[in-house]
Amino acid sequence: MMGSLRGRLFVGLTAIILLTGAVGGLLAYRWAYSEAIEMQDSVLIQIGSFVLSAPIRQSRPVTGVDAEAEVAVVELGEAPRGSADDRRLWGLKDGLHNDVYHGQPVRLLLRTRPDGSRFAVTQQTEIRTEIAGDMAVRTLLPIAALVPCLLLMTAFVIARSFRPMLRLAGDLDARKVDDVGALPATGAPSELQPFLGSINGLLERVRVMMDQQRRFIADAAHELRTPVTALSLQAENLASLDMPAETRDRLDALKSGMRRTKHLLEQLLALARQDAAPSIATVAVELDKIAKGVVADLLPEAAARNIDLGFTTVEAVAVNGDELSLISAVRNLVENAIKFTPNGGAVDLAVAREDGMAVIQIQDTGPGIPPQDLARIGEPFFRGGQPSGEGAGLGLSIVKRIVDHAAGSVLFENVTGAGRSGLRVTLRLPASTDEA
């Protein structure tokens, strides 16, 4: 609790409020108490004045002041007489006194009439303090009601003041891993500005570093492509010569190694291209045509493995995007479907328009992706917990980036049942409005 600024503020302010309330309450109580005592004295003096001019002379309780006030008039006569208490009272001077009468502590007012007779107006001290206490407690009520209200308001104000900070943390948390754009500084409280400045500085440095790294990968892949292509050509040339069967086997192994390396470089370059230049798409591209083109390209590959590659539905729908990138995305997905589907299986495509989105669905009859791998799909070089087949492990990273840049989404689901199972990939892209 004390580790948090909010907690510290709340504890501190609570202590201040409680202390102020306690001191204020104590002072108010004492002031009201002495005020009430004085008021009761003045009541005694008033009653004294009445009795002084009244014709009746007889000890009696005074009624009509306050039923519980227990004020009494005691006639003492012109000379000391009666009980020991009466005699002692007679001996006191005119005025207010604290004394004991009939065994009870009392407050009393002594007065002498012009004819020399004396009387006392008495009130039990216990009753007086009780009345004064009651009145003083009543002055505490507003303070007692105010303190909880203040505490509530403090908690509310503190929570509100810290909201921008929590919002900032939420913004940072919600970011995609590769989002290194600056945090907006407008609207944030001035205390957060230096903090924001530092974070944005850090983000900028990270962005520069990421850019350098991407450029390095792109440059390296590009530089490697030329020698690898040359090597492949040399291998092809070599293959046209006569050679023993054993040598030819080794040459074939060499050639497929070269092919894999070339594929890796192609994929690396495609990925680097997506990272470097997020295509500022303004051209409407027909997604159904792209899909048909990709399928036509891959038909021989599918046929060679006896895989039934085709469409279940095709609707004409266009998206705003970079044509080459979109071809690359669809191609990577269909290639995966063919690659991971066993011989004799099927790969079905569907292109449709749904609520302003262009949707392309690719479903195969392969093993699907194990649930524990689904979360990591799209990480560069991730090929699943048990990699199978050939591949660089970059295809889905490329797809994800293309989809991100096009403000679309891609969903991987394992479908089972209805006599077939496999992976279903759903690609959604905002449909273009200026359609033919």
Ligand X SMILES: Nc1ncnc2c1ncn2[C@@H]1O[C@H](COP(=O)(O)OP(=O)(O)OP(=O)(O)O)[C@@H](O)[C@H]1O
**Cβ count within 10 A of residue 59:** 14
With b for 16 or more beta-carbon neighbours within 10 A and e for fewer, the 416-432 pattern comes to eeeeebbbbbebbbebb
> What are the structure tokens assigned to 341, written together?
């589907």
Contact status: 383 vs ligand X (CB under 6 A): yes
Residues 168, 192: contact at Cβ < 8 Å? yes
**Closer Cβ to ligand X, 367 or 430, answer by number:** 367
# binding residues, ligand X (CB under 6 A): 21
> What are the structure tokens assigned to 198, written together?
């530092």
Q: Which of 396, 406, 427, 431 binds ligand X (CB under 6 A)?
A: 396
Q: Which stretch binds ligand X (CB under 6 A): 115-123, 124-132, 351-359, 380-388?
A: 380-388
Least separation in angstroms between residue 424's CB and Mg ion is 16
Residues 377, 411: contact at Cβ < 8 Å? no
Q: Which of 395, 401, 410, 427 binds Mg ion (CB under 5 A)?
A: 395
Contact status: 363 vs Mg ion (CB under 5 A): no
In angstroms, the CA 307 to CA 50 distance is: 122
Q: Is the dihedral of CA 315, 320, 323, 327 positive or negative?
A: negative
Contact status: 394 vs ligand X (CB under 6 A): yes
Q: Which amino acid is at 190?
A: S
Q: Which amino acid is at 347?
A: V
**Closer Cβ to ligand X, 41 or 373, answer by number:** 373
Contact status: 384 vs Mg ion (CB under 5 A): no
Contact status: 24 vs ligand X (CB under 6 A): no
Contact status: 391 vs ligand X (CB under 6 A): yes
- String of contacts with ligand X for each residue 336-375, x by CB under 6 A: xx--x-----------------------x-xxxx------
Residue 361 interacting entry, from ligand X, Mg ion, none, C-beta within 5 to 8 Å by type = none
Q: Which stretch binds ligand X (CB under 6 A): 186-194, 196-204, 247-255, 329-337?
A: 329-337
**Closer Cβ to ligand X, 275 or 364, answer by number:** 364
Q: Which stretch binds Mg ion (CB under 5 A): 17-25, 74-82, 159-167, 334-342?
A: 334-342
The secondary structure of 73-119 as a DSSP string is EEEEESSS-SSHHHHHHHTSPSEEEEEEETTEEEEEEEEE-TTS-EE
> What are the structure tokens assigned to 50, written together?
């009445």
Secondary structure E strands in 267-381: 284-286, 308-314, 318-320, 346-354, 357-364
Q: Which stretch binds Mg ion (CB under 5 A): 97-105, 206-214, 307-315, 390-398?
A: 390-398
In angstroms, the CA 329 to CA 335 distance is: 10
Binding stretches for Mg ion (CB under 5 A): 336, 395
